Amino acid sequence: MDPNAPPVDPGKVWFVDKPLHWTSFDVVKKMRGHFKVKKIGHAGTLDPLATGLLILCSGKKTKKIEHYQGLEKEYTGIFRIGQTTPSFDLETEIDSETDYSNISYEEVMDATTKLTGTIAQIPPIYSAIKIDGKRAYKSARAGEDVKLKSRMVQIQLFETSYINLPDVHFRIVCSKGTYVRSIARDFGQLLGVGSHLTELRRVRIGEFHVDNAQSLKTLIEK
């Protein structure tokens, strides 16, 4: 061992409550600069319009990222039926509106049941999935025709906590690789009136809860 070699960073794990409008990389970049660490990454992307638990690892602890990524996720949020957007959330403008006045409580419950269990899900074209080396969202924003293949995901729980149409407040527990925005699209399609995501918060990753996370502001002011 070279006695003049710099010490190996043992690493650290942070549990951050990601603020609204920040990308996951924005948080990584801010933490990297504040704590003066080069090797740092996150264990699962949150969209800019989502808030909640983001796990970051530095140094040797980055080896744990794959483990955290594989844990089940829990989300709360709001689906708005009767309107759709190309991105399935508020990132893009509403592109269709449909009357939802005849939608019943029973139909909403039936749709949640059909989207529970192991399902085939097509990711949003406004996503970071790569197609021939290019991010899908870049192709979508350029107006290109984007085709993504479906993938099997596990929805352990899909329940409504409050319904005040057009808004459906939900709680979802799901596997790695699940896009809640795609659930919004599929939910609206099952109801026949369309739907998009207006609010999303990741409250849990495995055993780690956002209630025990720190705000980014608190972390960088330490």
Q: What CA–CA distance (Å, rounded) separates 70 from 76?
A: 19
CATH number, residue 21? 3.30.70
Do 33 and 80 reside in the same domain of the chain? Answer: no
Do 93 and 131 reside in the same domain of the chain? Answer: yes
Q: Burial code of 194-203, b = ≥16 C-beta within 10 A, e = fewer?
A: bbbbbbbbbb
| Domain of residue 150, residue span | 73-205
Examine residue 135 and state whether it is found in any structural domain, yes or no: yes
Examine residue 8 and state whether it is found in any structural domain, yes or no: no
Do 66 and 78 reside in the same domain of the chain? Answer: no
Do 21 and 130 reside in the same domain of the chain? Answer: no
Do 194 and 216 reside in the same domain of the chain? Answer: no
Give the closest residue to 195 by CA, choosing from 203, 185, 204, 205: 185
Q: What is the pLDDT of residues 107-147, one digit of tens each?
A: 999 999 999 999 999 999 888 788 878 888 888 888 888 88
Whether the pLDDT of residue 6 is over 80: the answer is no
Classify 160 as helix, strand or coil.
Answer: strand
Q: Which helix (H) or strand (E) holds 136?
A: helix 136-141
Q: Could you list the active site residues?
A: 47
- Residue 8's pLDDT is 54
Q: What is the pLDDT of residues 91-115, one digit of tens each?
A: 999 999 999 999 999 999 999 999 9
Do 100 and 183 reside in the same domain of the chain? Answer: yes
Beta strands in 100-194 (DSSP E): 117-121, 130-131, 134-135, 151-164, 167-174
Do 64 and 143 reside in the same domain of the chain? Answer: no
What are the tokens at 220? Answer: 């960088």
DSSP assignment of 86-114: TTSSTTS---EE---TT--HHHHHHHHHH
Q: What is the pLDDT of residues 154-164, one digit of tens each?
A: 999 999 999 99
DSSP label at residue 16:
E
Examine residue 214 and state whether it is found in any structural domain, yes or no: yes
